Amino acid sequence: MTPADLQTSLHALATALVERRREQGDEVSIELSPADVVIERPKLREHGDWASSIALRLAKPLGTPPRKIADELAAGLGEVPGVASVEVAGPGFINVRLEAGAAGALARTIVEAGGAYGSGDSLAGRVVNLEFVSANPTGPLHMGHTRWAALGDSLGRVLRAAGARVATEFYINDAGNQMDRFAASVLAAATGAPAPEGGYSGPYIDDLARQVLEEHPGLEGLPADEQLVTARETAYRIQLDEIRASLERFNVHFDVWFSERALHAPGEGGRSAIDLAVDRLREQGHVFDEDGAVWVRTTDFGDDKDRVIRRANGVYTYFAADAAYYLDKGDRGFEHKIYLLGADHHGYVHRLKALAGAAGDDPERDIEVLIGQLVSVNGARLSKRAGNIIELDDLQAWLGTDALRYTLARSPADSPLAIDPEQLQRRTNDNPVFYVQYAHARTAAVARNAASVGVDRSTFVPELLEHESESALLGALQEFPRIVAQAAELREPHRIARYIEELAGLFHRWYDNCRVLPLGDEPVGDLQRTRLWLNDATGVVLRNGLGLLGVSAPERM
């Protein structure tokens, strides 16, 4: 019996109880959905396998003490096949203990489901655009980008596992003054001229300049304006290709690479996407003209001030590109937009939500802006322009993709994170990624050793899984679909990491107490075969959990 099965049974009992009260003439307004009947694992195992507080929720609408409601529900639940016992505790908590066979049957369910176990449909029908990283193509990705790359990719995987249709998107900031400074910086390095004020510096600029000269050996013979364009376009292409390659090596794939330039380019009738976006916002009634400039009345939607979208000199602001980009996402069929932004973008939250409102969307439903906090390595602060950045490629080479991705994904995005390189390089249990991967490798080793002595999965007798460590392990395995759904709903992939760490610990304890391999001349029996199902089920869940974080599940370590 799974938590979903138990939830269904308890929901049916609670619904029937409410209907009986209505038939008796009571005025009861509450309508229960299955999601209202929450099933949780008790903090203390001696309280049973599962618990629910539904009786406390029903007490006020029914005008009945919660303990009396709990007693009535417990009586019905005790008749459900697979339920061994039901107890009412405290003010009305319902504690359920399952029969060993009903609990153990999950092992077979998991093995047969394989990679699909944990996936669900809680977000089915949702069409999501998930934008993250979106770095300027003016330099290599650094530590701050790396955190969003790991979190964003993991979030996309989790959302898909919950049934959403997701497109991951990288917005290429390839228009504006920063591209001109980038071009001037590369050109100066290529020609030996002094670096421009406020330009970019560092070894990567010298490398780009060298590659530009290799492709265009006659660069210095070109007119000055052509030199700048050639340097910009060549260095831009090379740098963007490097960003793509770095992310792919980091196991991060984007479905869409969207160029900001596309928003500025003239379209039909010579008008750009930004021109059309301003017209559309004006049609919504939220654009006004003042002092020769064009404004969006974003204060109507909670922004701290109205925003200029086109200056009096006719030049569009960055906000104009943001508006056109937001509208474009909607035009492409994305009803829900999620932006993952860095710690220095707090000011964008109200701005983007106000933009959604001005576009005719619901700012509380159709857009989310998640802000990530800073990352440090041994306290180092990073700066792209100062030339002392720690690059994603260097971090991968130093710490490894798995250790880096796991570490970045296991903490909430809104908390600062300090990485301890020494810990991540240890092959010990205090290194979380090693601890989890080793548990998976151990499940694979158990399966190999079992095959070598003739233990297979030809029989399955789940009621034999009655050891305390088996009950605890099965209880955790049952939780995985709920954890995935919760991580997706709350946009918190770190919940997956914390869950599989707990699961790894329960598996190691089970391994120490329950043998799959027979001892000495002991014949292979149903107990060994059934335990192999549980071992393999644990391997499936650990593998699926690591996969949601973009981390490998090695079979040997």
**Which residues on adjacent β-strands are paired with residue 96?**
50, 86
Its pTM stands at 0.88
Q: Give the integer Cα–Cα distance in Å for 39 and 93.
A: 11
- Contact between 156 and 171 (Cβ < 8 Å): no
Amino acid at 117: Y
Phi-psi region of 234 (alpha: psi -120 to 50; beta: other; left: phi over 0): alpha
| Residues 6 or more apart in contact with residue 236 via CB below 8 angstroms | 137, 174, 179, 182, 183
Q: For residue 130, count CB atoms less than 10 angstroms from its CB and return exposed for 0-12, middle for 13-18, buried for 19 or more.
A: buried
* Cα–Cα dist 181/164, whole Å: 40
| Among the listed residues 415, 388, 434, the one whose alpha carbon sits nearest the alpha carbon of residue 147 | 415
For the chain, helix, strand, coil in percent to 5 are: 55, 10, 35
pLDDT tens profile 319-370: 999 999 999 999 999 999 999 998 777 778 888 999 999 999 999 999 999 9
- Please state which CATH class domain 3-98 belongs to: alpha beta
Residue 426 neighbours by CB distance under 10 Å? 12
Whether the CB-CB separation of 463 and 105 falls below 8 Å is answered with: no
Q: Where are the alpha helices (DSSP H) in 343-467?
A: 348-358, 392-399, 401-409, 421-424, 432-452
Close Cβ partners of 451 (under 8 Å, ≥ 6 residues apart): none
Q: Is the dihedral of CA 178, 179, 180, 183 positive or negative?
A: positive
**Rounded CA separation 13/265 (Å):** 61
Farthest-apart Cα atoms in the chain, separation:
95
**Which residues touch 166 (CB under 8 Å, ≥6 apart)?**
128, 129, 130, 156, 159, 160
What residue has token string 């329960």? Answer: 506
Within 8 A by CB and 6+ apart from 293, the residues are: 308, 310, 311, 312
Q: What CATH number labels 427-548?
A: 1.10.730.10
Q: Which amino acid is at 493?
A: P
pLDDT at 387: 53
Q: Return the number of other C-beta atoms located less than 10 Å from residue 51's C-beta.
A: 19
Cα atoms in the Cβ-side hemisphere of radius 13 Å centred on 356? 23
Asked if residue 6 lies in contact with residue 39, where contact means CB atoms within 8 angstroms, the answer is yes
Beta strands 307-310 and 93-98 are unpaired
pLDDT value for 292: 95
Q: Give the pLDDT confidence score for residue 422 in this predicted structure.
A: 85
Q: Both tokens of residue 102? A: 């009903």
pLDDT of residue 388: 61
The answer to whether 474 touches 104, Cβ cutoff 8 Å, is yes
Q: Are 352 and 364 in contact (CB under 8 A)?
A: no
Residue 256, pLDDT score = 98
Q: Where are the domains of the chain?
A: 3-98, 127-176+253-422, 427-548
For 154, residues 6+ apart whose C-beta sits below 8 A from its C-beta are 405, 409, 493, 496, 548, 549, 550
Q: pLDDT tens track of the chain, all 557 residues?
A: 778 889 999 999 999 999 998 888 888 888 888 888 998 888 777 788 889 999 999 999 999 999 999 999 999 999 999 999 999 999 999 999 988 888 899 999 999 999 999 999 999 999 999 999 999 999 999 888 889 999 999 999 999 999 999 999 999 999 989 999 999 999 999 999 999 999 998 889 999 999 999 999 999 999 999 999 999 999 999 999 999 999 999 999 999 999 999 999 999 899 999 999 999 999 999 999 999 999 999 999 988 899 999 999 999 999 999 999 999 999 999 999 999 998 777 778 888 999 999 999 999 999 999 998 877 777 554 444 345 678 888 888 888 999 999 999 999 988 888 888 888 888 888 899 999 999 999 999 999 999 999 999 999 999 999 999 999 999 999 999 999 999 999 999 999 999 999 999 999 999 999 999 999 889 999 999 999 999 999 999 999 999 999 999 999 99
Tokens of 82: 């697979």
- Choices 3.40.50.620, 3.30.70.2170, 3.40.50.300, 3.40.50.2300: CATH for 127-176+253-422: 3.40.50.620
Number of H helices, E strands in the chain: 19, 13
Contacts of 492 by beta carbon, 8 Å cutoff, 6+ apart: 412, 413, 486
Would you state the structure tokens that stand for residue 440, as one six-digit string?
């998976």
